[in-house]
A and B are shown apart, each in its own frame.
Chain A
Amino acid sequence: DTAVSQTPKYLVTQMGNDKSIKCEQNLGHDTMYWYKQDSKKFLKIMFSYNNKELIINETVPNRFSPKSPDKAHLNLHINSLELGDSAVYFCASSQHLGETQYFGPGTRLLVL
């Protein structure tokens, strides 16, 4: 069974569109994260939720809105996509904030 899963795996879309990426973890963890990995492989945290509560909210354009319907799910909605949003987005979870993280396989977003 996959511990942290993301859908879709690939996402190709036009500038200006709105898209969502879904993430689910079956590890029973309290904390979930969203990361962005750019073309140079630099990984930057975007958000962190702990028990459905937003804990970490880095400087991210407000076009990005995370939503956590329950502690096993953390979805990422992106409005008005821009070329610079092209990247790989990783979801992760950990038992508690700042502990060992388990990463999903990533969603490769390409904005044309």
Chain B
Amino acid sequence: SQQGEEDPQALSIQEGENATMNCSYKTSINNLQWYRQNSGRGLVHLILIRSNEREKHSGRLRVTLDTSKKSSSLLITASRAADTASYFCATVMGYSSASKIIFGSGTRLSIRP
């Protein structure tokens, strides 16, 4: 599997339900970032979680990071139609010229009305 691999690849849920997406990675990271991309648009930053943090919240979003399992999850509670988008995780490793930023393949989330 690749660094920053996400699952599921696609997720369809009913409006009002919670959506959980997962991101796994292989090597130690400095931080992990979650982004949303609406169709035909640029990526929008959601949450950045550092390697020494375990959980962060922002509104209806909750991100967890388990460095022992090298995985992160993004939970969207009480989903809305406007949450329909692709969600990407990005892992940041190394420093300066040795930095690596790798995006996952994304999870396509569809919210059914």
- Chain B 85-113, CB-CB to A under 8 Å as 1, else 0, gives 01010101001110111110110000000
Query: Given the complex, which residues of A lie within 8 Å of B90, measured CB to CB?
Result: 101
Q: Which of B44, B100, B103 contacts A43 (CB 8 A)?
A: B103
Chain A interface, number of residues (Cβ within 8 angstroms): 24
Q: Which of A42, A44, A45, A104 contacts B42 (CB 8 A)?
A: A104
- A68 at interface, CB cutoff 8 A: no
With contact pairs A55-B97, A105-B42 given, residues A100 and B48 touching in the complex (Cβ less than 8 Å): yes
Chain B interface, number of residues (Cβ within 8 angstroms): 25
- Report Cα–Cα, A48/B101, bound state, in Å: 10
What is the count of residue pairs linking A and B with beta-carbon distances less than 8 angstroms?
A: 60
Interface of A is mostly: strand
- Report Cα–Cα, A40/B88, bound state, in Å: 13
- B54 at interface, CB cutoff 8 A: no
The answer to whether A99 and B48 have CB atoms under 8 Å apart is: yes
- Chain A 81-106, CB-CB to B under 8 Å as 1, else 0, gives 00000000010100001111111111
With contact pairs A43-B88, A55-B96 given, residues A98 and B101 touching in the complex (Cβ less than 8 Å): yes
Q: Could you list 30 examples of A-B contacts with CB < 8 Å?
A: A33-B101, A35-B103, A41-B37, A41-B106, A42-B106, A43-B43, A43-B88, A43-B103, A44-B103, A45-B103, A55-B96, A55-B99, A56-B100, A90-B42, A92-B43, A97-B95, A97-B96, A98-B92, A98-B95, A99-B31, A100-B45, A100-B48, A101-B33, A101-B35, A101-B43, A101-B45, A103-B42, A103-B44, A105-B41, A106-B42
